Amino acid sequence: MTAVVERVEGLVRIEVDGVPCLSYPGLAGPVALGDEVVVNVQARLLGLGSGGFDVLYVNLTRGLELSPDEGAHVMRLPYTPLQSAVRYAEEDGPLADTLDGMPVVCCSLHSQVAPVCAGLGYGLRLAYVQLPGGALPVSLSDAIRALKTRRLIEAAVGVGACLDGDVQCMNVYSALAWAGTEEFDAVVCAVGPGIAGTGSHLGHGGLAATDAANAAAALQGAPVLAVRVSTQDVRERHRGVSHHSRAALELCLGSFVTAWPHGLPPPAWLHRREEVDVTGWETTCADLPLDHMGRGPDEDPWFFASAFAAGRLARSLVR
């Protein structure tokens, strides 16, 4: 390892032979200059977008003797070389049987989380639940760190293979039930930064929004779908309402409501919606990290306004 660029909570940005690389100390242990490391370079070689960087796989100098979490009984990433024992929140006591109407905002993209939280606003206890479908480490997200610093998010939960949350839960059902047990006012669910996708109707991480909505409905919560909208995306399948959101909406089985920003003409097929006044969303989001595919609020305003609408609608449902 030739340089340490930045250390933040749960993440170290380094260079290996002058090439940028990420390291997760909770998974691979601490790092220091001169360490002998093995690096996974495939994403960089493929030229992937938001995930096209090297990742430290193993530190041969230190980090080979990481201890499991105290009281851990379950392996995360089981039967892979990266398996690690963690303790899940549901092991610490009974969970709530019902969410009792607690709003759960269901996002298909990580870049929706900041404007959703801005729409929910201050003065609430919010939990963020990260689902598989994008990046697995919660610690990769600078947005989540910023939202926690601004006290818009109180706790981050890693679900399943997702790691480095303030707490870990086995699945989205237990994560939502944990939030109910801890008496949070609302929950925001999303995948991590980046998103896996094949360009097909069903083969993408955006269906995590469906998983969250169906779980929230089953637990007597109030699911609110944040629609992925863009007027600037060059890809036809993501222009207007993204095919990711359309697939997620089609597969929702229980009760839910879709937030739609007032002032943007909705598609004719989107019948199950509630229009939301998003006046002033730019000012409310001004100090938050807003970025979607390299575009900010000036370049693709309706993307952020539609996510903000979901947060504002959820705020109106808080009991």
pLDDT one digit per residue (tens) for the chain, 319 residues: 999 999 999 999 999 999 999 999 988 999 999 999 999 999 999 988 777 889 999 999 987 778 888 888 888 888 988 888 999 999 999 999 999 999 999 999 999 999 999 999 999 999 999 999 999 999 999 999 999 999 999 999 999 999 999 999 999 999 999 999 999 999 999 999 999 899 899 999 999 999 999 999 999 999 999 999 988 777 878 887 889 999 999 999 999 999 999 999 999 999 889 999 999 999 999 999 999 888 999 999 999 999 999 999 999 999 9
Pair 281, 313: CB distance under 8 Å: no
- Pick from 83, 87, 81, 82: nearest CA to 69: 87
Residue 123 tokens, joined: 């003065």
Query: Where do we find the tokens 């749960």?
Result: 10
Instruction: Look at the pTM and tell me if it is higher than 0.85.
Output: yes
- What element of type H or E holds 3? strand 3-8
Residue 58 tokens, joined: 């193993």
